[in-house]
Amino acid sequence: QVQLVESGGGLVQPGGSLRLSCAASDFNLAYYTVGWFRQAPGKEREGVSGISATDSKTYYADSVKGRFTIFRDNAKNTVHLQMNNLKPEDTAVYYCAAHRRPKAAILLPYEYDLWGQGTQVTVSS
C-alpha cells in the first residue's frame, strides 16, 4: 500500500530538539520531492521545509531557517526533519507530503498529492 508515515513527534521544552521521520511504503521516496508542513489550531497549513527530488536542494520557511534541517536517508526510504531550538510557536501537527512534479512549488500544500497522517509536536515548559 502506497503511504507515508510520520513519527518522532512529542512534547519538548523550549530550546529542545526533535527529529521527525517520514517513511515511505511501496514506492521509492528518493524520486519524489518531499515537503514538511504544519498546522496549528485555527490556522492554515503552512510549508516548513522541502527537499527536491532532482538535486536534493533544500528549502525552508523564514520562521525555521537556521533551526530546522531536512535530509534524506535513501537506504531507509525516509526523509527526516531535524528541529533544534524549538519555540512554543512551533507547536502544531506536522505532516510530510510528496509529489513527483519537477516544476511544482516546494512549500505550497496544494502541489502535493501524497500525505501522511501527521504527528503532534508540542513545545511547552
Model confidence over 94-117: pLDDT tens digits?
Answer: 999 999 988 888 999 999 999 999
The 10s digit of each residue's pLDDT in 66-90 is 999 999 999 999 999 999 999 999 9
Rounded-to-integer distance, Cα 88 and Cα 125, Å: 9
DSSP annotation of 91: -
Rounded-to-integer distance, Cα 88 and Cα 100, Å: 33
The amino acid at 81: L
The 10s digit of each residue's pLDDT in 26-81 is 999 999 999 999 999 999 999 999 999 988 899 999 999 999 999 999 999 999 99
Burial class (CB in 10 A: 0-12, 13-18, 19+), 2: exposed
Of 57, 62, 54, 46, the closest CA to residue 110 belongs to: 46
